[in-house]
């Protein structure tokens, strides 16, 4: 039985047409937001990325007010809810050609937010490198389109519960991010994050950090360079800022930037005050 509350095109349902292009081709986009007592701390950033994602895939401009109303509806009564908003190109005839009369499908679902371990913020997390690589596709880089197979394969590489995330590189060996998070590192005293113009997802928490810690250098980062960083942390719209204290055989203390950002996520309501 589903543990989620679901709306499909505004109606209570957990079913879609078997010809939906989101199901058949991954032809759509999505956003995963944290709602705290009916409010999403990073909502404006989610909206900004959703609009960009729809524009890139030539989908109709999203009806933001309607999405917000439905997100509040499905998350009602949940103190902390993960809300996923999915927009597809809708159903159509067989084949890749987009339907002439497009009728997008809108799915809004809410799930109880998982409880993050307090040790993640107090003691840091352990991370490993994945062997699965991210392919370059500048047309899709940065957005949250529905094809997440690379991340699915990468996440299948480990089942050790002590490892929280897997670091992913592109096909040229440059660090891009984790399976479900962006990465920041302090290298030679400067905060840097990987460029995402060829692959990867430009996270909303990444955007928040880049404003809070401006200026942040955005550039290519090699594995060897990352391993000599003075501080590393991951960012995610639901989990916030997760300090990396172990990556393969290297260990770090929690750095001052991560500590400051964890306090910021608590201040804006993304993390509970007693999260760490």
The whole-chain average pLDDT of the chain stands at 95
Q: What is the mean pLDDT of residues 88-92?
A: 95
Q: Map out the domains of the chain as residue ranges.
A: 5-112, 118-267
Tell me which DSSP letter residue 98 carries: P
Closest to 229 (Cα-Cα) out of 184, 198, 262, 196: 184
CA distance 58 to 248: 41
Write down the pLDDT at residue 273: 73
Check pLDDT > 70 for residue 73: yes
Closest to 196 (Cα-Cα) out of 215, 175, 216: 175
CB atoms within 10 A of CB 254: 18
Check pLDDT > 70 for residue 90: yes
Write down the pLDDT at residue 118: 77
Check pLDDT > 60 for residue 2: no
Closest to 273 (Cα-Cα) out of 125, 164, 121, 124: 121
φ, ψ of residue 216 to 5 degrees: the values are -115, 130
Write down the pLDDT at residue 253: 96
In order, the DSSP letters of 103-147 are: --EEEEEEEEPP---HHHHHT-EEEEEEEEEEPP-TTTTBS-BS-
* DSSP E strand boundaries for the chain: 5-8, 11-12, 28-36, 80-88, 105-112, 125-134, 163-170, 175-178, 182-187, 190-194, 217-219, 231-236, 240-247, 250-251
CA distance 194 to 159: 26
CA dist 271 to 182, 238, 242, Å? Answer: 17, 9, 11
Q: Is 228 exposed, middle or buried (0-12, 13-18, 19+ CB in 10 A)?
A: exposed
CATH 3.20.10.10 holds for 118-267: yes
Q: What is the mean pLDDT of residues 62-75?
A: 97
Check pLDDT > 90 for residue 92: no
Residues with Cβ within 8 Å of residue 25, at least 6 apart in sequence: 96
110: its two tokens: 């809410």
Identify the CATH class of 5-112: alpha beta
Check pLDDT > 80 for residue 274: no
Closest to 192 (Cα-Cα) out of 222, 160, 171, 170: 222
Q: What is the mean pLDDT of residues 42-67?
A: 96
262: its two tokens: 């964890």
Query: What confidence tier does 1 reach under pLDDT thresholds 50, 70, 90?
Result: very low
DSSP three-state, residue 8: strand
Query: Is beta strand 28-36 parallel, antiparallel or unpaired with respect to 80-88?
Result: antiparallel
């Amino acid at each position: 039985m589903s543990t989620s509350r679901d709306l499909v095109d505004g109606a209570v349902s957990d079913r879609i047409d078997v010809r939906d292009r989101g199901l058949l081709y991954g032809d759509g986009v999505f956003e995963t937001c944290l709602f705290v007592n009916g409010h999403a701390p990073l909502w404006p950033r989610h909206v900004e990325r959703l609009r960009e994602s729809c524009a890139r895939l030539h989908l109709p401009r999203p009806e933001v007010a309607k999405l917000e109303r439905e997100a509040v509806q499905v998350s009602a009564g949940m103190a902390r809810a993960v809300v996923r908003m999915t927009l597809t190109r809708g159903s159509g005839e067989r084949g890749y050609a987009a339907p002439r009369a497009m009728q997008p499908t809108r799915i809004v679902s809410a799930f109880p937010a998982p409880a993050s371990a307090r040790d993640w913020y107090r003691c840091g997390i352990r991370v490993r490198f994945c062997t699965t690589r991210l392919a370059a596709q500048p047309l899709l880089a940065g957005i949250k389109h529905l094809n997440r197979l690379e991340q699915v394969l990468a996440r299948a590489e480990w089942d050790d519960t002590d490892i929280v995330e897997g670091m992913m590189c592109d096909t040229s060996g440059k660090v891009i991010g984790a399976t479900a998070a962006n990465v920041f590192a302090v290298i030679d005293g400067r905060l840097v994050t990987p460029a995402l113009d060829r692959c990867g997802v430009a996270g909303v928490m990444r955007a928040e950090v880049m404003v809070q810690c401006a200026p942040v250098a955005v550039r290519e980062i090699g594995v060897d360079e990352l391993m000599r960083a003075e501080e590393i942390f991951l960012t995610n719209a639901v989990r916030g800022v997760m300090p990396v204290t172990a990556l393969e055989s290297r260990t770090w203390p929690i750095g001052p930037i991560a500590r400051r950002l964890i306090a910021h996520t608590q201040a804006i309501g993304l993390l509970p005050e007693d999260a760490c």
